[in-house]
Structure 1
């Protein structure tokens, strides 16, 4: 509901004083001025009451899949569905845990049935699933006599993915051979990526990259090295989200570093052709099975984006539960 501003209350006071002066002095012209002042205030109130409810907002980030540390823009689309020009409006967006602070937009009066797109920097975004409240709209009439404040639009859910480190090798899993990355390029082999099984005569059409030249020199026949990928178990990654163990101020905490380390190791294992089981020790513990393909990596990123350090009990309780449910550990 629109309310008078300080300027509006001042005009109302002037109208009342003019009316009283007209009663005291008996001058009818002062009555006209008093009612004119009051009429201006009422007209501004009506214009604001009619036009403010016809303004619709939609919000989104400029990046479809933002990652931790990115600095996207908050894109706001305003549409005036009224037959009257929209009032001048200030839009306030509480960014909460997304980047902290407040994002303000100044929206000039929109012509009837028109649309306008505005952008404002959202700042450096943090990993997580953030639910932004509806924007606060502060509308004023052209004379600044009345103001209306209301929530407009829907809640905006933003998922910020963790920024992982691309590993070409890993001391924790030297037997994993890096087969590929997710852009289609062939990866770099690591020590132990394949085991030597023996040599045999080369068959037409087979690649020459594994020719054993020493055996070829001895026999006089092209000999091919046969390699066998080691059979290894899938990798289980534990992410400790014990609330009491978190050190530092968000987003620069040891838990954020652990999320990045666990995600980078799991990503390396997935690219090596190994399945990964991600166990997130949280208030509601989660166990996510990831397949060694692009879908598995996407699931990894979204699972880590939703990870929270809110577990009330130590990790050992989560390990006991995990051992009961997964007999292969």
Structure 2
């Protein structure tokens, strides 16, 4: 009895429906006649339905989630299907289904189950933003004919959707101009030195047939090649500036584009960032590309930086080439780059349009060029090389 009273206290609208039923019944008893009893019996099914919904077990619903793909690129769409099943056939007038999604992916849909024991809802998540999106549960509610009473429940149905960043197919001639100072070397397939064999590894695009270890290939059923000691001078490390700015997403696109282009050309690429300084060792191949893209998917802009040019000097191997990717130029960053790389040549990619520089950024750009820092701008998916200013400073 106490449980019933507790439920009624929490659902005052149902109490109002009960009062209306009692009033119509009393009116029919005292007034009598066809009209008064007609009003009572007309209202009775609707009131009884509301009372049944009060004790209807929504938690008995089972929800199965199906998705067309668990991984995609930013800007793509995925189809999501929710399959609802229950053990009874109580007619449900409507059901409002709301996904427990991130703010940018909010989804609310109205369905009409009727007498169905099993029904499904399919919708499309369009223009997905980059990131690792975790969907925890499904929230839905039902109500009566008058809208006076609604009942809500949440069913746990977890799902993880990984959205990798979009990338541009960079022009390889532009990349050759970018690296024309010998920092990274050529973007052609690398012909590795092979004086001492140090081990074996999986085959990567660009490996010569003479490097294949046929015994290991037969043993593992995968093409294995010899690993040589003299390879480290071909490593490329990308340093991503994760400081929050309006161009942060463009910086992610640029980083992903560089990783795609360099690995496609057979280079070993590593990654670190100013937000965590966690280093992904330089490697090549499709597995490394996926590893770096997954890191980009989880990357978040921050207003704090754990990077210090002097303190973090040993984070990246000294014989590796470093590419900095930033969305703004400051004197503090220039000083940090110099402390980090010493007198080594470096390339800095900036995703900000040259026409949008402030006075301070213009001064920082001049200082960077005077110190031999090569600046490359990334605008609307294209590389804009600062060739004239670099040549002027090389004289």
- TM value normalised by structure 1: 0.66
- Taking the aligned partners of 1:106 and 1:86, their CA distance within structure 2 comes to 15
Match of 1:140 among 134, 143, 150: 143
Distance 2:134 2:91 in 1: 28
Instruction: Report the alpha carbon displacement of residue 295 of structure 1 after superposing the two structures with TM.
Output: 0.6
Relative to structure 1, is the Cα distance of residues 294 and 255 closer, same or farther in structure 2, using a 3 angstrom cutoff? Answer: same
Within 2, Cα distance between the matches of 1:173 and 1:110?
66
Q: Is the 2:272–2:279 Cα contact (8 Å) retained in structure 1?
A: yes
Judge which range, 14-23 or 258-267, deviates more: 14-23
Q: Greater relative contact order: 1 or 2 (C-alpha under 8 angstroms, separation 6 or more)?
A: 1
Residues 95 and 132 of structure 1 are in contact (CA less than 8 Å); yes or no, is this contact kept in structure 2?
Answer: yes
Residues 281-320 of structure 1 aligned to structure 2 (within 5 Å): 281-282=274-275, 284-310=276-302, 312-313=304-305, 315=307, 317=308, 319-320=309-310
More displaced stretch, 293-302 vs 14-23: 14-23
**Deviation of the 1:127 alpha carbon:** 0.6
Tell me: CA distance 1:166–1:138, structure 2 relative to 1, closer, same or farther (3 Å). Answer: same
- Give the whole-Å Cα distance in 1 for the aligned partners of 2:263 and 2:140: 46
**Larger displacement relative to structure 2 (299-308 or 105-114):** 105-114
Taking structure 1 as reference, are residues 39 and 267 closer, same or farther at Cα in structure 2, changes over 3 Å only?
closer
CA displacement at 1:35 relative to structure 2 = 9.7
Task: Give the C-alpha shift of residue 269 in structure 1.
Answer: 1.9
Conserved in 2, the CA contact under 8 Å of 1:242 and 1:314? no
CA contact (8 A) 1:5 1:144 kept: no
Quote the Cα distance in structure 1 between the aligned partners of 2:313 and 2:91: 62
On the 8 A contact 1:55/1:79 being kept in 2, the answer is yes
1:324 paired residue number: 314
Comparing 119-128 and 39-48, the one that deviates more: 39-48
Give the secondary-structure state (helix, strand or coil) at the position aligned to 1:238. strand
Given the superposition, is the C-alpha separation of residues 280 and 60 from structure 1 closer, same or farther in structure 2, using an over 3 Å criterion? farther
Q: Report what 1:233 is aligned to.
A: 234
8 A Cα contact 2:135 2:158, kept in partner: yes
Pair 1:82 & 2:100 matched:
no
CA RMSD of aligned residues (A): 3.8
Q: Is the 8 A contact 2:279 2:315 kept in 1?
A: no
Among 107, 110, 129, the alignment partner of 1:103 is 107
Residue 230 of structure 1 deviates from its aligned partner by 9.4
Task: Label 1:231 to 1:290 Cα distance change in 2 as closer, same or farther (>3 A).
Answer: closer
* Structure 1 residues 36 and 285: CA distance shift in structure 2, 3 A: farther
- Identify the residue that residue 46 of structure 1 maps to in structure 2: 52
User: Deviation digits for residues 309-328 of structure 1, max 9, x if unmatched?
Assistant: 1251364x2x4454234452
| CA distance in structure 2 between the aligned counterparts of 1:278 and 1:232, rounded to whole angstroms | 16
Q: Return closer, same or farther for 1:22/1:51 CA change in 2, 3 Å cut-off.
A: same
- CA displacement at 1:104 relative to structure 2: 2.0
For residue 142 of structure 2, give the secondary structure of its aligned residue in structure 1: strand
Q: 1:172 to 1:124 in 2, by over 3 A?
A: same
Give, in whole Å, the separation in 1 of the partners of 2:234 and 2:151.
63
Q: CA deviation at 1:273?
A: 2.0
Using a 3 Å threshold, how does the CA distance of structure 1 residues 32 and 81 change in structure 2: closer, same or farther?
Answer: same
In structure 2, the partner of 1:72 is 78
Structure 2 counterpart SS, 1:309 = coil
Q: What aligned pairs does 1:201-216 form with structure 2 within 5 A after superposition?
A: none
Runs (5+) with no aligned partner, structure 1: 180-192, 196-228, 249-253
Distance 1:4 1:41 in 2: 14
Aligned counterpart for 1:177 among listed residues 179, 187, 190: 187
TM-score (norm 2): 0.56
> How many residues get paired?
267
Per the TM alignment, residue 41 of structure 1 is displaced from its structure 2 partner at its CA by 2.9
- Tell me the equivalent position of 2:351: none
Residue equivalent to 1:261: 254
CA contact (8 A) 2:139 2:155 kept: yes
Whole-angstrom CA distance in 1 between matches of 2:151 and 2:281:
51
